[in-house]
Every structure is written in C-alpha cells, then in structure tokens.
A and B are shown apart, each in its own frame.
Chain A
C-alpha cells in the first residue's frame, strides 16, 4: 500500500508542477490586464485541483492555504472583488507560497512558514468576512494527455523464456449479469499471451440461452513470460463473479485438448470466436451502451487507440534509449555505405539503391525521433516575466518584458538547462543595462525600459536574443576593470567590440558595488560556460546609450550533427557543417605572410585569417599537403580559412561526449565514430579560433 501511496503522490506532485505553471501563466495574464473570465476560471481551477489532491494526502497546510486562496479568487469570479494590479500581486505571491508549500509537502517538512502567514493575512484582507467559503464549481483537471500505458509489455533487456500456463476459469452462474464480457476477457487475456481457448460444458442453444445461468467454463492456455502472480492479478478482476485455477506446467508441455468432453478448440489467431459470440445477440439487445463500439473494436487490450489521446507522456529515459539506438543505426548505416563504396562498381545496382533509400529513411527516422524530444521554449520563457517583475520591484525600475517566438522548439535537455543562463542574463540586463526611470527620461527615453526576449530557428540552430534599450556597455569602465584585473594589457588596443566581449571573461564583474541582484560573485562567464556546455555560443552587441543585445546560438539537438569530414595527416576531424562556408584549392587563391608570420588569404578581395589545423592541433604524420582551405564562419569573428589536407565528405555524425568519456578539451566539442570504426574529433571552430589566437599549445597539450 505504501508503494501505491507514493506512486500516486508522485503523480500528484507532477500534476502540481503543471498546475503551478498554468496558474503562473494565467495570473501573469491577469496581472497584465489582458485576462478575462476564462483566464480567471482557469487560474481558479488550478488552485482548486491542487487543493483536491492535497486533501487526499492530508497535506494540511497546503489544503487550508489553497482553500483561502481559492476563496479569494472565487470572490473575483463572482465580481465581488476587482482584480486590481495590487490584488493580482497578492494572488501572485499566493501562487509562490503555494509552490513552496507543495515543495514542503514533498519534503515532508511541516515547519511553519512565515511567508505563508503573511500572505494569508493579505488574503484575509481581500476576502470579504461574510464571503462564501465553499468553492462551488464542478471542475475537473483539464488536460487529456495519457500516462504511460498501464501494463506495457515492454521488455527492455533479456526476454524471459515463454512458459506454458493453463488457467481453468469457471464463471459463476451470474457472470454475464455482473458486467463481465467473456469476449473482452479473452481479448484482454490475449495481451498476456493467451493462445488457445478450450470451451468446456454444454453451450445452450440460442433459444434456451439464459444469461443468468452461465453453464460453460474455459481452459485458457497461455504461452507467456509473466509469472503466476501476474496472471493471478489479472484474474483478480473477476473475483466477484468467477473462480479459477492456475495450473502452470512449467516443464510439462501438454496439449489441453484431452480434458474436454466436447471440446471446441479455438485457435486464437484471427478473431476470438468463443461462446460469448453466442451470448452477444442477447447482450446487445440488453446493453445498447456496449453494442455500438465493442464488436467492431479490434481486440487490443492495453494498447492505446490511435487518434484519441493527443499526447502521450513517456519517460525521458525511454526516448533517450530510442535516440541512442537510432544513433547507432546511423553509424551502422554509414559503415554499410562506406563498405559498399569501397567495394566499387561490382556491387549490384539494386543493392546500392536500397542502401541509398535506407540512408534517407535513417535520416527521416532520426529527425522524427528528435522531434519527440523537442519542446517549445515557452516552458522556459514563461518563467521569465516573474523574474523580471520581482527584480523590477527590487531595483525600483520600470521594465516591460516582451516575449516572442515562444513556440520555437528546442531539444528538451537544452530547454532544461536554459532557464539558469537566461535568468542570469535578464538580471544582468536589468541591473547593469537598464537605467532608472529618471536617468532614462533625462536621456530622452521613455521611463519604462524594454527588454525583448526572442527565439527563432536559423538553419540548424536556435537563436535566442535578449535585447534591452538601456545604456549599453560602459566600455571605459570595462576596459579599466580588465586592465586592473590583468585580463588585458594596457597597450592591447582592443576594438570596441572586443572590449564588450570582455564581460564574458572569467572572474569579470563590473558591478561597482556588488549588488544583491546580479553580482553574486559570478559573472557572465558562467553564462557563457553554460551555453558552451550546451554546444552553443553567445556574444553581445552593444551600442552606447541605445542598449545591448545578447545573442545565444544553440544547436537544435545535442545528439546529431551534420558534419564535414576532413583529413589532416593521419587524423580525421569533423567540422560542423553549419560553420562551413566554402572549400577552396590553395592554388587558386593568394596566400600572404604577415609580418608576425601569421598568414592571410585573399578571397574575392577580402582578407581572411588563416589557421592551419595541423599546426593548431599539432597533428603529426604525412603527407603534408595543406593545399585545401575550408572557409568557416565563426559567428562572432567573421570568416576564417582553415588549412587541411583532404576533404573526405559530408555526413551526419552522432555526437559522443568527450566530457563524459574523457574530459573536456578546448577547441573540440565532442567525438564521433566513423563508418570504419575510427574515432574522429568534432572541432568547435569558434572556440578553436579564439584559442588559437592566444594559446594554441594548450589544445595540443590537452590532446596528446
């Protein structure tokens, strides 16, 4: 029973999370003044549902608080209370308290909460003393998504051997009268491995058939991997109207035919035809409720009927497993294709076509699997208005947050990890970027600062931008700080843009006095690191006096990557295709040596810095050709030419984490397994280039 309790409790808490996020959303809308009666109703229902669940588990604090909360909202519903911004603030705070109470309930923490009492007092003020305290409203939790299939017969690892089990099932005389349906019994049992049904006893001719007197019994023969306890629990559902014996013949495989007096052996392959068919006409007449749907329905016991539930809740682990398996298929498929191309023209054309088709299908499969993991960024974005509002209060600034592109979909893992850096960046913008109202008006801007949070797809990436219309980065201060901290030398002659990017430097914090808001000793470098961990990049553009714009570019998924395989010496590397602009033969372009011995390349009148991969990664092995250049886009530093020996081809690669299997290596974002089983490193181009300007040796050291 304890287990059951916990299962259900977990369900309750999961549900609470959804309810809280709904509630938050609705309250935000109400606060913004755009809400209507339906918004209010929805918010009310969320609180009410939390209360309902809490009552079933006896979380007293939560029950009583939710009750008060709900009562106040009910007043608003009946127009006895006007939803002024102040009232909304109280409701929002109540939502927070409810969240913390749920957390406490989860932790079994029963200590009193001061905040709760404070907010309770506020609610009491709002509540009319003689207001009704019973919530009316028939409500139900709204969503119609499905939980995991009830008894999924998914065997992950070893598949146990099938056992033969025979069940002698003897219905009571009143079996058919107790809401049982023999046909349904048999079709459900099929899901458990029923393969043969033998009817015993005399089936009465139709005219004499008496529903009140069931005269037959069944011998149900199972070939199943389930143990007896499982089978027993299946039959427990018929406890009130039947008896049964489970005769498991673990070792003796016997045909059940021999027992029956006049056995009607029914192979359960095509459709279950059994005595219930006889009962059917009668039952139909008496039970119109069932007649419509049942007979036409395929005998699917536990399988979900398609097209009805719009969503299916699946454990992330299962999807991950699927993603991994598909990843393996991609690798195998690549290996197959490679073997085939090595075999040359001797291969049958049809085989070749099949492999091509398979490669297309594998890709489709992969995309479909990835789509399962995708989620709109809305789930993170929707938390941000609250962050901004709270902070605006604290800082005494007027801020309006504008969201756009909330429907943009990103991989689930990315979404989860995004909340923290986004929060941090918003705080940063509000604390450092936006001016106070007076200063803004003095500068000829509106008193209310605007922060825009936007997301969009751009090619293989998701671009998230946070832009404010504040004062921009104070380059003088940043540069002074950076020199003070020894991050740059005084005579470095940085461009304005380079100065701006300094705020991403580790240990850099410009907060003149460390404020409680963004200066927690951690700076934007933490944000940058987090984004990099997600395989993304971030940079900023600042216009003094006009504002600042942070951009985060993230990969759509962390699992696969469209890449270009290149050879340098004996090594193979993968360049993310999203970075590649074009490939050039060196004999067609000019290469110039600069005074500091670095090289540049001219392409259509444009000078591009040149980086030799061989040199940067200290690759050994011949032949030294370096007669190809790949022009890559670094996103933040423009185009750069990479010198390589050979271009092998374009392919999809499955990312394997270097961090998880080895350790993080700068300049490298991961590794993959090539078709021939070799491991190739995936280059993190912007990182590689940034590093190479200063410390190319470190990468080489890390690798060797």
Chain B
C-alpha cells in the first residue's frame, strides 16, 4: 500500500481517481490545485503524486517545479494525468522533472500498475 496524493480541480475526476486508487488498496490524499498539493505534499509526504495539468492557482507543471525544490518532493514520483498531448508541454514536463505522463481518460489497471511499479 502506498500513500498517494491525487491532485485535480475537477471533483468527479478527483473522486474517480481516488476511488480507483483506494480500490487498489492505497491511501489517498487529495488536493484541488497546485497550491494545496504543495501543502499536502509537505504535510503528508506521499509515496507518489498523480496530478492534473490544467488547474487554477498553480498548474501541474508549476507544482512539479516547486515540488522538486522541496525535500518532500525532490525524489517522489510525480505523474501528470491530463488530456493534453502537445509535445511542447511534454518537453516542459521533462524539464521540470515530471516522472511520467498519462493521458485521460485513464485505465484504472494501468494507474494501479504504475503505482506499484513506481512508488
């Protein structure tokens, strides 16, 4: 079981992602934007983070960039889960040191597999 921080500004998506992770036996912490996510990251020190890209206040890329500067987020796997597919964004993700990129809609089994593989 891992402790996973799920970040998404859409509540249904957040609920579904969380539900999927919980069914995989994981503990889930939630955040609805990058700012909250950063706070949660520091407080709960999750084993893995799965975050949306487009969010208010602080988006997924900004969040990863900030997280990597923090001891709690420096080495934690952070997956981006988004509908975006633009190469520029992917390059940017690599730059800010995202661990991986997943496209919505997601396959629960794939997510759970990745959690097991990476966290």
Decide if A52 touches B11 in the complex (CB within 8 Å).
yes
A151 touches B25 (CB 8 A): no
Chain B residues contacting A7 (CB-CB under 8 Å) are: 107-109
Chain B residues closer than 8 Å to A287, beta-carbon distance: 71-72, 74-76
Q: With contacts A138-B30, A179-B118, A301-B116 known, is A309 near B1, CB below 8 A?
A: yes
Which of A52, A54, A304 has most chain B Cβ within 10 Å? A52
Contacts of B77 in A (CB 8 A): 179-181
Residues of A within 8 A of B78 (CB): 179
Cβ-defined contact, B105 with A5, below 8 A: yes
CB pair A150–B109 under 8 Å, yes or no, is: yes
Q: How far is the CA of A305 from the CA of B26 in the complex (A)?
A: 10
Give the shortest distance, in Å, between A281 (CB) and chain B (any CB): 13
B98 with A150: CB separation less than 8 A: no
Across the interface, which residues of B come within 8 angstroms of A289, CB to CB?
Answer: 45-47, 72, 75-76
Contact A147 B112 (CB under 8 A): yes
B56 is an interface residue with CB less than 8 A from chain A: no
**Stretch of A233-241, A539-547, A678-686 on the interface side:** A233-241
Cβ-closest 4 pairs across A and B: A287-B75, A289-B45, A309-B25, A179-B99
Pairwise interchain contact A146-B25, C-beta atoms closer than 8 A: yes
Complex: how many Å from CA A240 to CA B18? Answer: 24
Assuming A55-B12, A146-B24, A240-B98, what are 8 further A-B pairs, CB within 8 angstroms? A12-B16, A54-B12, A56-B12, A150-B113, A188-B117, A237-B117, A241-B97, A289-B75
CB under 8 Å from chain A, chain B span 15-58:
15-16, 18-20, 22-25, 28, 30, 45-47
Contact check, B109 vs A151: say whether CB atoms are below 8 A apart. Answer: yes
B116 engages A241 (CB within 8 Å): no
Please tell me if A350 contacts chain B, counting CB pairs below 8 Å.
no
Asked whether, in the complex, the Cβ of B1 is within 8 Å of the Cβ of A180, the reply is no
21 A-B residue pairs with Cβ-Cβ distance under 8 Å, sorted by A, are: A4-B107, A8-B107, A55-B12, A56-B13, A140-B19, A141-B19, A147-B20, A147-B23, A147-B109, A151-B116, A178-B97, A179-B75, A181-B75, A238-B100, A239-B100, A239-B101, A283-B75, A287-B75, A302-B116, A308-B1, A309-B25
Min CB distance A450 to B, Å, is: 40
Interface string of B91-119 (1 = CB under 8 A from A): 00110011111000111111011111111
Tell me whether A301 and B25 are in contact in the complex, defined as CB-CB below 8 angstroms, given that A52-B16, A141-B18 are known contacts: no
| B112 CB to nearest A CB, Å | 4
Q: A52-B11, A52-B15 are in contact. Are A151 and B23 (CB under 8 A)?
A: no
CB closest residue in chain B, given A308: B1
Q: Give bound CA distance, A3 to B109, whole Å.
A: 12
Q: Say whether B93 contacts A240, CB under 8 Å.
A: yes
Residues of A within 8 A of B (CB): 1, 3-5, 7-8, 11-12, 15, 49, 51-56, 138-141, 143-148, 150-151, 174, 176-181, 184-185, 188, 234, 237-241, 283, 286-290, 293, 301-302, 304-305, 308-309, 313
Which one, A145, A234, A308, contacts B23 given CB within 8 A? A145
Residues of A within 8 A of B19 (CB): 15, 49, 140-141
Chain B residue numbers with a CB within 8 Å of A240 are: 90, 93-94, 98-101
* Residue contact A290 to B12, C-beta cutoff 8 Å: no
| With contact pairs A55-B12, A241-B94 given, residues A290 and B109 touching in the complex (Cβ less than 8 Å) | no
Assembly CA distance A52 to B68 (angstroms): 31
A316 to B: closest C-beta gap in Å: 17
B46 to chain A, nearest CB (A): 7
- The chain B residue sitting closest to A307, CB to CB, is B1
A5 to B24, CA, bound (A): 18
Q: Which residues from chain A contact B117 at a C-beta distance below 8 Å?
A: 184-185, 188, 234, 237, 301-302
Given contacts A7-B109, A52-B12, A240-B101, contact A146 B118 (CB under 8 A): no
